[in-house]
């Protein structure tokens, strides 16, 4: 299976999971190929065919978000452990068997998996609640022990099972032991065989008797010998100062590792480690695997997977250079999506400082920015370096992790310089990035920003209005002003290094916005600005800019602390969470209690202003209705080409509602879609196509919707898939139509086969005739007209032939 290119058209109603190729967490060289996990996704590189296979969650795999993998060399099978306790076994013939027993267990316990160890016909699974033993012949649970103790790892010898619980007393851990054959269901059957410092994280056999193991305790190397009576000897290696993340074995069973500073080492005895050589600086921090020894080592980091030969003098020969698939995103926590000035592209990013996003409430001082541009057939990684710090948390992050941007918040693309991005940081204010280089930092030294708590410049919002003015909002302590504006003329300078505080304008907007999660919405169909933040029970800010975007002196600002709805009732959710403007100029606002709309935003500063609490009729004869998603926390919203609304929730999945929101058209969850979670974190509706991009904490997903952009004429109509093959039974999509087109499908004799009306610029045909049976093989013609006219068909009065579709049965 080749990696699927991003630009490949997917059928309407279908989903695509984007591969993740970012931080590597597992790397296993089996001799025939290389298994690796990056960004929670599984890949396999076949050495013979020189091909890489991506295992798509929900299809080739039963689940999503891989925690780790373990390889059984004796049986040539791979155990895939997921973050929710699920397990897949990939067998030698490539087939998959799902082992859901731990995930589906009714016991009220934490089900995280920590380690898997193989021994003969047994597979030992260390979990957050205890130990589970599987029979590998039958692929079913043989025994289990629920101890309500987190077991970090398990060590198995021919005579004993040893457990390493993660609990400690003053950083001293206990190693528990039980004889093989004794029941493991009761924790009291174990005895303490040793007490030690630094928790065991991995143990790899070093001898055929499986009594001597190379170990990682905390992040340094050592060994443990298990004697016949179950007593142990735990030793640190003579290279204790070398830090490592994983131990691997070569084809001769030699345990080896790479230290964090790039030294390749192997274990030679009870506490002895030999240093084979030091790799060049560029390989520091890489994961390492070497089935064939130093003649063919595999190294992996965020630049990809590479194959190298290392000579005895330390010289390195590239056998296969590192690369990242062009369709892979580089991180899995897709928390934000931002539009590009090129409508066929958009940005995805992770998120730092926040209070209300599902990624978790935190300052995230050390969370590094991950940023990709998606569109035009490729995913481009944007990895800015050269960041500097002027605050304690900013400097600490840079000193620890490198000169990257940390605690990212919002991003805006410069409309005049597409290579220039403005990137907010919870630590350091605002970075100006050109290409992959930070060229300027904007903070209190060159802008009227105030340090929050005298500790950081917490920039929360970054956006550019329709006139080109740059707006920035940061956390402040009242009465300091949060929102500042750089006039378009200043922003358009090719060189911004001369910026100073006097270049900025500080609007007087009621001292209202000042907390985390600030969002600014500049309406394009009215002169209104709306602003929200994460302070509880405070409402939202409305600003009438009175048609003078660059002049804030005449702006009228009003705080709507408890807005009144169309029925005269007050509505005061705990938090307002997101905002969008639709194609009619209506403003939609999400909250912790559902969605409202503002049908006349220009009146938001008037005394008679009303919001519209959207009602969904029950249609059960009662005449009653329910408020739209009133029990859900709304995370994000997007408007598609038919002005329908896509709504992301924190716990209930993804909703599609009608233009006015009074009808729920679709509801996607983990049970009826490939979505890995019902927590949706970001949304983007493609204005140039019918795709809806869905962000989750496990990556990016794309849904091919029934609504596409409209055209001014029929010169660019096309259909897909085309030809329609015998094995295809999904929707045939006709795209590039004028709005609300009457579409008729006719055969070669001009007999009417099917008739429909487009949704926006897209129409769907199921490949069947009016009576519901699949049409015969042949060429079918698509006729389209911009008004429905007479519903009866007569010759070609329905319109011109705009496309042809070949059907093959």
pLDDT digits (tens, 9 = 90+) for 514-550: 999 999 999 999 999 999 999 998 899 999 999 998 8
Kindly report, residue by residue over 62-113, the tens digit of the pLDDT.
Answer: 998 899 999 999 999 999 999 999 999 999 999 999 999 999 999 899 999 9
Query: From CA 282, how far away is CA 487, in angstroms rounded?
Result: 43
**Mean pLDDT computed over every residue of the chain:** 93
Is pLDDT above 50 for 16?
Answer: yes
Q: Which residue has the higher pLDDT, 358 or 312?
A: 358
Give the mean model confidence (pLDDT) for residues 565-588: 97
Is the pTM of the predicted complex or chain greater than 0.75?
yes
Q: For residue 69, give Cα distances in angstroms to 34, 76, 99.
A: 12, 13, 14
Instruction: Tell whether the model's pLDDT for residue 796 goes beyond 80.
Output: no
| pLDDT tens digits along 601-623 | 999 999 999 999 999 999 999 98
Q: Is 117 inside any structural domain? A: no
For residue 181, is it within any domain?
A: no
DSSP state letter for 324: -
Would you say residue 511 lies in a domain?
Answer: yes
Within a domain: residue 400? yes
Residue 256: CATH number of its domain: 2.40.10
pLDDT score of 693? 97
Q: What is the mean pLDDT of residues 738-764?
A: 93
pLDDT reported for residue 243? 84
- Is residue 789 over pLDDT 60? no
Same domain assignment for residues 348 and 458? yes
The Cα 327–Cα 8 span in angstroms is 10
* H/E element, 437: strand 437-442
Quick one: 371 and 506 in the same domain? yes
Tokens representing 501 are: 């505080």
* Gap between the Cα atoms of 28 and 305, Å rounded: 12
Rounded Cα–Cα distance for residues 505 and 422 (Å):
18
Q: What is the pLDDT of residue 23?
A: 86
Q: What is the arithmetic mean of pLDDT over 178-193?
A: 97
CATH of the domain at 751: 2.60.40
Burial class, 408, CB count within 10 angstroms (exposed 0-12 / middle 13-18 / buried 19+): buried
Q: Residue 316 falls within a domain, yes or no?
A: yes
Say whether both 356 and 475 belong to one domain: yes
Helical residues (DSSP H) of 495-593, grouped into ranges:
none
The closest of 206, 212, 285 to 246, measured between CA atoms, is: 285
pLDDT reading at 797 higher than 90: no
pLDDT at 788 over 50: no
The whole-angstrom separation of Cα 751 and Cα 780 is 10
Please write the tens of the pLDDT for every residue from 450-498: 999 999 999 999 999 999 999 999 999 888 899 999 999 999 999 999 9
- Give residue 307's domain range: 237-323
Angle at 213 between CA 207 and CA 214, to 5 degrees: 115
Shared domain for 555 and 503, answered yes or no, is no
Residues 515 and 529 in one domain: no
Does the pLDDT at position 24 exceed 90? yes
Q: Domain end: 465, 488, 519, which one?
A: 519
Same domain, 479 and 368: yes
Q: Is the pLDDT of residue 668 over 50?
A: yes
156 within a domain of the structure (yes/no): no
CB neighbour list of residue 86: distance below 8 Å, 6 or more residues apart = 62, 63, 98, 99, 100, 102, 103
**Strand 732-735, strand 594-598: pairing:** unpaired
Strands (E), 730-774: 732-735, 742-746, 752-757, 762-765
Regarding whether 358 and 295 lie in a shared domain, the answer is no
733-to-14, 593, 691 alpha-carbon distances in Å: 12, 36, 13
The residue among 519, 547, 578 that closes a domain is: 519
Q: Is residue 501 part of a domain?
A: yes
**Average pLDDT estimate for 271-299:** 90
One domain, residues 380 and 424: yes
User: What is the pLDDT, as a whole number, of residue 641?
Assistant: 94
Lowest mean pLDDT among 163-177, 278-292, 353-367, 520-534: 278-292
Residue 370 covered by a domain: yes
pLDDT at 649: 99
Residue 7 has pLDDT above 50, yes or no: no
Mean pLDDT of 206-230: 94
Residue 290 has pLDDT above 90, yes or no: yes
Does one domain contain both 498 and 418?
yes
What confidence category does residue 219 fall into, taking pLDDT thresholds of 50, 70 and 90? confident
Instruction: Say whether both 306 and 402 belong to one domain.
Output: no
Q: What is the pLDDT of residue 1?
A: 23
Question: Considering 631, 658, 673, which residue would you say is the last residue of a domain?
Answer: 631
Could you tell me what percent of the chain has a pLDDT over 70?
97
Kindly state the average pLDDT of the residues 498-504: 97
pLDDT of residue 5: 39
**And the tokens for 317?**
């020969």
**Residue from 724, 675, 726 nearest 702 by CA:** 675
CA distances from 239 to 223, 242, 247, 302 (A): 12, 6, 14, 27
SS3 at position 624: coil
Same domain, 554 and 410: no
Angle ∠(732,733,734) on CA atoms, nearest 5: 125
Mean pLDDT for 399-412 is 96
CB atoms within 10 A of CB 539: 18
pLDDT tier for residue 798 given thresholds of 50, 70 and 90: low
pLDDT at 240: 66
Question: How many separate domains does the chain show?
Answer: 4
Task: Please indicate, yes or no, whether residues 316 and 336 belong to a single structural domain of this protein.
Answer: no
């Amino acid at each position: 299976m080749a990696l699927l290119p991003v630009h490949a058209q997917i059928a309407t109603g279908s989903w695509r999971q984007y591969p993740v190729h970012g931080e590597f967490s597992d790397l296993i060289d089996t001799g025939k190929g290389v298994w690796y996990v990056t960004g929670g996704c599984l890949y396999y590189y076949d050495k013979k065919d020189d091909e890489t296979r991506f295992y798509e969650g929900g299809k080739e795999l039963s689940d999503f978000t891989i925690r780790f993998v373990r390889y059984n060399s004796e049986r040539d099978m791979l155990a895939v452990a997921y973050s929710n306790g699920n397990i897949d076994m990939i067998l030698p013939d490539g087939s998959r068997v799902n082992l859901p027993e731990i995930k589906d267990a009714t016991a009220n316990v934490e089900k995280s998996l920590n380690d898997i160890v193989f021994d003969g016909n047994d597979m030992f699974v260390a979990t957050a609640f205890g130990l589970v033993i599987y029979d590998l012949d039958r692929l079913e649970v043989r025994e289990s022990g629920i101890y309500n103790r987190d077991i970090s790892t398990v060590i198995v010898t021919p005579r004993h099972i040893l457990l390493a619980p993660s609990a400690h007393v003053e950083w001293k851990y206990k190693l528990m032991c039980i004889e093989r054959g004794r029941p493991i269901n009761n924790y009291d059957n174990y005895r303490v065989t040793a007490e030690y410092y630094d928790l065991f994280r991995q143990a790899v056999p070093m001898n055929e008797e499986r009594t001597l193991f190379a170990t990682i305790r905390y992040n340094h190397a050592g060994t443990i010998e298990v004697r016949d009576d179950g007593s142990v000897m735990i030793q640190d290696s003579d290279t204790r100062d070398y830090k490592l993340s994983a131990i691997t074995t070569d084809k001769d069973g030699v345990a080896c590792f790479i230290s964090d500073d790039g030294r390749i080492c192997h274990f030679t005895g009870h506490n002895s480690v030999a240093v084979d050589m030091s790799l060049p600086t560029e390989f520091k921090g890489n994961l390492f695997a070497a089935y064939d020894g130093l003649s063919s080592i595999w190294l992996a980091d965020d630049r990809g997977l590479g194959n190298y030969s290392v000579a005895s003098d330390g010289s390195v020969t590239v056998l296969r250079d590192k690369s990242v698939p062009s369709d892979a995103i580089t991180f899995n926590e897709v928390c934000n999506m931002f539009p590009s000035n090129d409508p066929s592209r958009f940005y995805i990013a992770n998120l730092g400082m926040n209070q209300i996003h599902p990624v978790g409430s935190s300052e995230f001082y050390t969370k590094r920015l991950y940023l990709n541009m998606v569109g035009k057939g490729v995913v481009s990684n944007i990895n800015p370096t050269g960041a500097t710090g002027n605050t304690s948390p900013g400097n600490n992050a840079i000193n620890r992790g490198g000169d990257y941007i940390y605690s990212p918040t919002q991003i805006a693309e410069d409309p005049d310089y597409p290579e220039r991005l403005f990137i907010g940081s919870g630590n350091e204010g605002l970075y100006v990035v050109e290409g992959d280089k930070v060229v300027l930092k904007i903070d209190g030294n060159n802008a009227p920003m105030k340090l929050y708590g005298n500790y950081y410049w917490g920039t929360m919002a970054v956006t550019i209005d329709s006139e080109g003015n740059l707006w920035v909002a940061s956390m402040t302590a009242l009465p300091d002003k949060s929102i500042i504006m750089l006039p378009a003329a200043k922003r358009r300078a090719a060189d911004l290094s001369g910026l100073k505080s006097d270049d900025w304008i500080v609007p007087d907007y009621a001292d209202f916005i000042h907390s985390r999660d600030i969002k600014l919405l500049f309406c394009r169909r009215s002169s209104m600005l709306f602003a929200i933040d994460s302070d509880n029970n405070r409402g939202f800010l409305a600003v009438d800019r009175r048609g003078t975007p660059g002049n804030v002196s005449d702006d009228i600002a009003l705080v709507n602390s408890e807005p009144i709805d169309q029925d005269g009732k007050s509505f005061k959710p705990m938090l307002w969470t997101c905002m969008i403007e639709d194609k009619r100029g209506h403003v939609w606002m999400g909250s912790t209690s559902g969605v409202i709309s503002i049908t006349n935003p220009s009146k938001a500063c008037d005394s008679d202003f009303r919001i519209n609490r959207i009602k969904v009729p029950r249609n059960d004869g009662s005449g009653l209705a329910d408020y739209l998603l009133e029990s859900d926390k709304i995370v994000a919203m997007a408007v598609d080409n038919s002005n329908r609304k896509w709504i992301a929730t924190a716990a209930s999945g993804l909703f599609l509602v009608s233009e006015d929101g009074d009808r729920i058209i679709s509801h996607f969850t983990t049970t009826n879609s490939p979505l890995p979670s019902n927590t949706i974190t970001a949304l983007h509706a493609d204005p140039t196509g019918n795709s809806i991009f869905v962000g989750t904490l496990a990556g990016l997903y794309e849904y091919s919707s029934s609504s596409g952009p409209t055209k001014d004429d029929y010169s660019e109509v096309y259909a897909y898939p085309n030809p329609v093959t015998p094995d295809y039974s999904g929707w045939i999509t006709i795209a590039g139509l004028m709005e609300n087109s009457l579409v008729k499908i006719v055969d070669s004799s001009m007999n009417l086969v099917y008739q429909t009306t487009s949704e926006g610029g897209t129409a769907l045909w199921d490949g069947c005739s009016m009576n519901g049976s699949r049409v015969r093989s042949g060429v079918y013609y698509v006729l389209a007209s911009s008004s429905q006219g007479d519903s009866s068909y007569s010759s070609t009065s329905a319109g011109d032939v705009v496309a042809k579709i070949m059907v093959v049965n």
